[in-house]
A and B are shown apart, each in its own frame.
Chain A
Amino acid sequence: MALLGLLEREPSHGYDLKRDYDAYFGRGKPLPFGQVYATLGRLARDGKVLVGETEPGAGPDRKRYVITKQGVSEVETWLREPVEPEPHLQTVLFVKVVLALMSGRSAEGYLDLQRAAHLQRMRELTALKRTGGMVDALLADHGLFHLEADLRWIELTAARLDALADMVRA
């Protein structure tokens, strides 16, 4: 869907789409060319893009792709749909705390180590924000707020450990 959205701006070659995808959304995981052309082929098959004439010149990437009305409609529908909020109701953090308490190990020690790991990752993302551009900052913020939510849970759980221990050992 990201490629289709990028294509809505203007007719583009596969190379241009890959370059812009990598710049905005790749973040260290560049899109393989093969995946770009496989996706464009599928979109063409489904009537969401049209493949232009092969342009004269050297190089493999001489086709220009154009989004269709059906493609634009699909992008519009997708943008209007909220992403399902992830409930995270059964996280590994929770499982570790409960199992530590059940086995008489130190859940507090685990939470302390997890807090340190979270804060270390937050430092890395903060450094990325301070040295990178706006796209880096926005993506880093997303990660930072999620890590902060985890940390709030860690603090609250640490405060509730005695009560939780009584419950799981009952």
Chain B
Amino acid sequence: MNAETVRAHPDAPGALIEARDVGLSFGPTPALRGASVAVQAGEILAVMGPSGSGKSTLLHCLAGILTPDTGEILLAGRRLDTMRENARSALRRDRFGFVFQFGQLVGELSAVENVALPLLLSGTPRAEALARARSWFDRLDLDGTQTRRCGELSGGQAQRVALARALVARPEVLFADEPTGALDSLTGEHVMNLLVSCAREQGTTVILVTHEPRVAAYADREIIVRDGTVTSFAAAPLLP
């Protein structure tokens, strides 16, 4: 690790992942304008805000998928935004997990092969990768779906397979972008219960983008992204 890039932030001691004054424009359109947030290890953070406010862009910057024009992204004090792309790619593969709104499973693979994918890509022997992947099916109430192709899964099953795939390599950070956006209320609740339980068990930090308050309520706290900047409010004590 480069000593120059390892430094604690005075406002966020011990933060696992952090955006500092991040700006990013798409052409002439600013998506983020000085967005800052610090997420502690093991924390579940909800990122809320109106459509087009920049919340998904912030998540992509924190995950090293997008590179900000200005500001810094730090993972355990190490600059993420200045890393070479191959280093960021390895980091995303080995230390991050991702769940998106529509699962984005690989259609040609079976459910268990989809779950094993991150392990296979990081060099785990196939037999071991598949064995570890299979262990998730009972845990996520997916018995009997291991050999099915993704097209044969219901929306809730596909999203649970995507969750298993995101967590199988025990990532430090799970990025979830509207993970229940395509599901009905009851199925979405099932997915969120499993996501939170598994993350807590593994000590995984979760950054959860959602516009649904009922989904955000699974998080420890929320931030609001508005016009590309972050606002955060602790709940004030209520008057009797």
Contacts and interface: CB of A to CB of B under 8 A. Distances in A.
A19 interface: no
A113 B236 CA distance: 7
A118 B213 contact: yes
A10 interface: no
Interface stretch (B9-17, B27-35, B227-235): B227-235
B214 A144 contact: yes
Interface string B40-77: 00000000001000000000000000000000000000
Interface string B201-240: 0000000000001101111101010000001011110100
Interface centre among B222, B231, B233 (most CB of A within 10 A): B233
Contacts of A147: 213
B147 interface: no
Interface stretch (A28-36, A53-61, A78-86, A120-128): A120-128
A1 B193 CA distance: 36
A151 B50 CA distance: 12
Interface size class of B (residues with CB under 8 A): 10 to 19
Interface of chain B: mostly helix, strand, loop or mixed: loop
B235 A148 contact: no
Contact of B193 (A115, A117, A130, A144): A130
B224 A122 contact: no
Contacts of A125: 217
Given A113-B236, A155-B50, A119 B231 contact: no
B218 A126 contact: yes
A127 B231 CA distance: 24
B235 A122 contact: no
Nearest to B216: A119
Contact of A148 (B50, B213, B220, B236): B213
A122 B219 CA distance: 10
A93 interface: no
B214 A148 contact: yes
Contacts of A115: 224, 233
A120 B235 contact: yes
Contact of A116 (B50, B218, B236): B236
29 contacts: A112-B231, A112-B233, A113-B235, A115-B224, A116-B233, A116-B234, A116-B235, A116-B236, A117-B235, A117-B238, A118-B213, A119-B216, A119-B222, A119-B235, A120-B235, A122-B214, A122-B216, A122-B217, A126-B214, A126-B217, A130-B193, A130-B196, A144-B214, A144-B217, A147-B213, A148-B213, A148-B214, A151-B213, A155-B50
Interface of A: 112-113, 115-120, 122-123, 125-126, 130, 144-145, 147-148, 151, 155, 159
Given A112-B224, A118-B213, A144-B214, 4 more contacts: A116-B234, A119-B217, A123-B218, A126-B214
